[in-house]
Structure 1
Amino acid sequence: MDGINGVMSRIAEIEGFISSLQPPAAATAGTLGGTSASGQAFASSLSSAVAGVGTSGGLTSGLTSGLTSGLGSGLTSGLTSGLATSGAATATTTATGAATATTATSGARNAKGVPVELAAYGNGRIPAAALSSIGVGNHTMWAPAAANFKKLQAAAARDGVTIGVTDSYRSYDQQVDVARRKGLYSQGGLAAKPGTSEHGWGLSLDLKLDGEALTWMRAHAEEYGFTENVPRESWHWTFTA
């Protein structure tokens, strides 16, 4: 009997402690246990369980019922909110990934290094609308190449260096003419086989360079995506970025 009285006294202490608790502030959405309403439900259920010790079912059934009810409510609320938050985060991540993929493929090139947006036209058959001015005479290039050359030329000018231009995009007919006049590179001349020239994709420039300008190009051109990529032709620079 003394043992039962001790248990009842302890339960009374617990009940008094629970009653003194203030409802907690609203929990962050998705936190296990839900909001303050769930906390109140738990406290209320546990209090009812304590009261039920002396009326029906005894200590075990009363506490089991109260805990199941209170924790069940909190878990349901917390898990529901948490899953909703997780789903939203997943959707955001997926959207971000798609945006990243779109950006990464902007200005993409095929296996031969030809800009995908130009490949369908064919070498030397790029329409004027698909090319951009480089700011020198009527010379044009693929838009990203043109924009970078303008930056390169401006940087050289700030260093007191002049970068001139003698040739840029070449149509197929112009390539035929250059090959006729200067001979094919494969045969010791200076022209690529018509239909294969980097000029025909709007990627290359022939520059007018004195010694100082050539030295500057070899030191800085790569910063702007241009490479000296044809042996025997120090004037030929191609946009490879």
Structure 2
Amino acid sequence: MEGITAIAQRMAQIQSIVAPRPPAASAGAAGTAVSASGTAFSDLLAQEVARTAATASTAATAAAGTSTAGTPTAGQSAATRLGGDGVPTELAAYGNGKIPPAALQEVGTTGHRLWAPAAQALTGLITAAAADGVKVGITDSYRSYAGQVDVAQRKGLYSQGGLAAAPGTSDHGWGLAVDLDLDATAQAWMRAHGAEHGFVEDTPREPWHWAYTP
């Protein structure tokens, strides 16, 4: 749960991290960026971080399968999962967007990095696709917390019709997601074979976004 706690601790820093003029927002009389509804973007960002953190906390508690004494009940794999959200405890200990370089690995020679097991799986996937004459490219991979704030600023929050998860909640921040460069043939190949390598297309409106499911 350290990742969720870290979100709350960084809420106070959001105002200083977010630039004043994100795209898809207009400028208020004082030059503060505002959304179409007139709400300052930084306020929307802070509200979304708080909302998603609370939702994640509730879901994790409900799915944790613990007894009143806090011990895992039968069937709960507490050693490998954080609650029910599928985040390996190794990553949860670092916090979203704060994965150290030693825990990341380059995907082949692409320059893109993911959590080491995910990087290895994606390297194998790209090799398998190439053997079938299909090219799978990468446009984005692991993203730091500050990087996610920047993306949210530029592309808008997903909950507001944009394309970015609230900072501290994105699978990119866990090193578990990639944005792929896919033509129609490669997209079809991924939908047919991605799961064989542990990758699923899990985000509506984003057919390029694929998440590793350890």
Note whether the superposition's TM-score is higher than 0.5: yes
Question: Residue in 2 aligned with 1:93?
Answer: none
Partner SS state of residue 179, structure 2: strand
Question: Residue in 2 aligned with 1:219?
Answer: 192
Q: Distance in 2 between matches of 1:194 and 1:145?
A: 21
* 1:110 paired residue among 65, 82, 88: 82
Question: Residue in 1 aligned with 2:112?
Answer: 139
Question: Residue in 2 aligned with 1:75?
Answer: none
Structure possessing the higher radius of gyration over alpha carbons: 1
Q: Distance in 1 between matches of 2:156 and 2:92?
A: 26
User: Structure 1 residue 160 and structure 2 residue 160: aligned?
Assistant: no
Q: Distance in 2 between matches of 1:218 and 1:110?
A: 27
User: Structure 1 residue 170 and structure 2 residue 181: aligned?
Assistant: no
Q: Which has the higher helix share?
A: 1
Q: CA RMSD in A?
A: 1.5
Unpaired stretches in structure 1, ≥5 consecutive residues: 1-104
User: Structure 1 residue 181 and structure 2 residue 129: aligned?
Assistant: no
User: Structure 1 residue 129 and structure 2 residue 98: aligned?
Assistant: no
Letter in 2 for 1:163: V
Render the CA deviation track for 1:161-218: whole Å, top value 9, x for unaligned: 0000000000001000000000000000000001100000000000000000000000
Q: Distance in 2 between matches of 1:109 and 1:154?
A: 29
Question: Residue in 2 aligned with 1:205?
Answer: 178
TM-score by length of 2: 0.62
- Which range is displaced more, 131-140 or 211-220? 131-140
Q: 1:106 to 1:162 in 2, by over 3 A?
A: farther
User: 1:232 Cα shift?
Assistant: 0.5
Q: Distance in 1 between matches of 2:107 and 2:171?
A: 16
Letter in 1 for 2:123: K
Letter in 2 for 1:134: V
Q: Distance in 1 between matches of 2:175 and 2:91?
A: 9
Question: Residue in 2 aligned with 1:30?
Answer: none
User: 1:225 Cα shift?
Assistant: 0.5
Higher RCO structure (Cα 8 Å, ≥6 apart): 2
Q: Distance in 2 between matches of 1:154 and 1:107?
A: 31
User: 1:118 Cα shift?
Assistant: 1.2
